[in-house]
Amino acid sequence: MSITKEVSIIASAALPICEQWAIRRCRLQSDSAGPRLCITSGIHGNELIGQRIIFMISHCIQTHPEYFSGTLDLYPMLNPLGLDLNERMVPSHTWLDMNRAFPGQKDGTPLETMCFQILNDLSGADLVLDIHASTTEKNELYEVRMNHARHDDLIPKAASLCPDIIWVYPDRPSFDSSLTGALSRLGTDAFILEADERSMNPDGISKRIFTGILTKMHEMGMWSDSGITLTVVEDIPVIYSGKNIERITCENPGIFIPESRIGSVINMGDSLGYIISALEGIILENVLSPCNGLVFTQRSYSAVYPGTLLARIRKEAV
């Protein structure tokens, strides 16, 4: 069996001086028929974990084409202008979040047109995986996120990606205007893969997601080698926004010094960290867990404001 590799530009806009703002796709096509899987990353230009994971997937398939069937479309960087500036937003007159601009418009602004073209290229795939890397000061477990509207259908399909947790988002405008939300509305199965590349071992988390994706491809009939796939756990914790998530925010401005709790099951009253004032040499706030449960998000050492998210806990059922 052999594969063909084709790199093409699927969305573009000319910039004023001798440059295209271009979104590139690498298509790996097997000569044996199979499903079409798309993997995107870099919609926020400062999130780089997808580069490594997509490289690992691509390299693996090109090294072992005999195990691969179907079509794999890889879009490693959806926000190349942001990458250059290490910037989440798309650099433009008003610095817009690309993941709040979908579905875009055919004859809209440059960003809307790019989003429209990207969505057009992705829609109809059997599955789209959009890899994110959390924000700068947040540590996350490996999460698969999906929209609420089709969660009964999507949850069983997410298990083979082998995440630590599955998160069902509410149907609200901020999610509807994301790439995943827009694809879901078009009837294309789509997941966000969220993982923290900064404080956890980036090599470890990259390999974890890489093997999760291969396990998913194995389930989809796109990858026949079961040697490096994972055992699918059926009872992955599922969390629902507004139901079994406890968001812990701070009430005092200061510096947050976290206790390392990410991935731990903690009890009500356990400390998640402290907010300090260096000027006065005092602890402003001892941040305690209000419930028992799994800490799946935790803020790292950073400056905080009232309302800054410090942790998310999957509450244990009482």
Partner 1 sequence: MKKEVLMTIPSYFREPMNILSFRFGKGEKSCAIVGALRGDEIQQLYVCARLVSFLRDVEKDNGLQPGKTVTVIPTAIGASMNTGTRLWAPENMDLNRRFPGDPSGSTTERIANALLEKVRSYQYGIQLTSFYQPGSFIPHVRMMNTGHQNPDLGLEFGLPYVYVREPRTADQSTLNYNWQLAGTQAYSLYAGKTTEIDENAADQTLRAIIRFLNSRGIIRSEFTPGQYSSIITNHDLTTVSASSAGLFRRVKLAGAHVRKGEQLAFIINPLDGSIREVLKTPVTGMLFFVQDGPFITEHNVVFNILAAKK
Binding residues for partner 1, per CB under 8 A?
A: 12-18, 21, 88-89, 92-97, 100-103, 105, 107-110, 112-114, 173-174, 176-177, 182, 247, 249, 252-255, 277, 279, 303-309
Nearest distance in Å: CB 146, partner 1: 18
**Could you tell me the smallest distance in angstroms from the CB atom of residue 211 to partner 1?**
32
Our CB check for partner 1 shows the closer of 119 and 193 to be 119
Beta-bridge partner residues of 72: 28, 37
Residue 211 sits at φ, ψ, to 5 deg, of -70, -30
Residue number with CB closer to partner 1 (228 or 284): 284
From the number of C-beta atoms within 10 Å of its C-beta (0-12, 13-18, 19+), residue 145 rates as: buried
Q: Are 179 and 97 in contact (CB under 8 A)?
A: no
C-beta closer to partner 1: residue 64 or 100: 100
| 240 to 97, 132, 184, 193: CA distances (angstroms) | 24, 19, 17, 16
**CB of 289: closest distance to partner 1 in angstroms?**
16
Buried residues in 72-97 as b, exposed as e (16+ CB within 10 A): bbbbbbbbbbbbeeeebbbeeeeeeb
CB-nearer residue toward partner 1: 265 or 303? 303
CB of 102 to partner 1, least distance (A): 7
Instruction: Give me the phi and psi of 13, to 5 degrees please.
Output: -145, 130
Q: Least distance to partner 1 from the beta carbon of 188, Å? A: 16
Within 165-225, strands assigned E span 165-169, 190-194
Q: Which residue has the tokens 């939300």?
A: 181
Minimum CB–partner distance for residue 170 and partner 1 (Å): 12
Nearer to partner 1 by C-beta: 95 or 301? 95
| Minimum CB–partner distance for residue 88 and partner 1 (Å) | 6
Q: How far apart are CA 81 and CA 249, in angstroms?
A: 32
Residue 233 tokens, joined: 């756990």
Number of H helices, E strands in the chain: 7, 18
Q: Which is nearer to partner 1, 108 or 202 (CB)?
A: 108
Alpha-carbon distance 26 to 16, whole Å? 26
* Total Cβ atoms within 10 A of residue 267: 10
Q: Which is nearer to partner 1, 156 or 307 (CB)?
A: 307
Taking phi first (over 0 means left), then psi (-120 to 50 degrees means alpha), and beta for anything else, what does residue 297 get?
beta
- We find the least distance from the C-beta atom of residue 110 to partner 1, in angstroms, to be 4
Q: Which amino acid is at 176?
A: D
Choose between 130 and 164: whose C-beta lies nearer to partner 1.
130
CA distance 287 to 294: 16
Pick between residue 92 and residue 271 the one whose CB is nearest to partner 1.
92
Q: What is the closest distance, in whole angstroms, from the C-beta atom of residue 281 to partner 1 in the complex?
A: 14
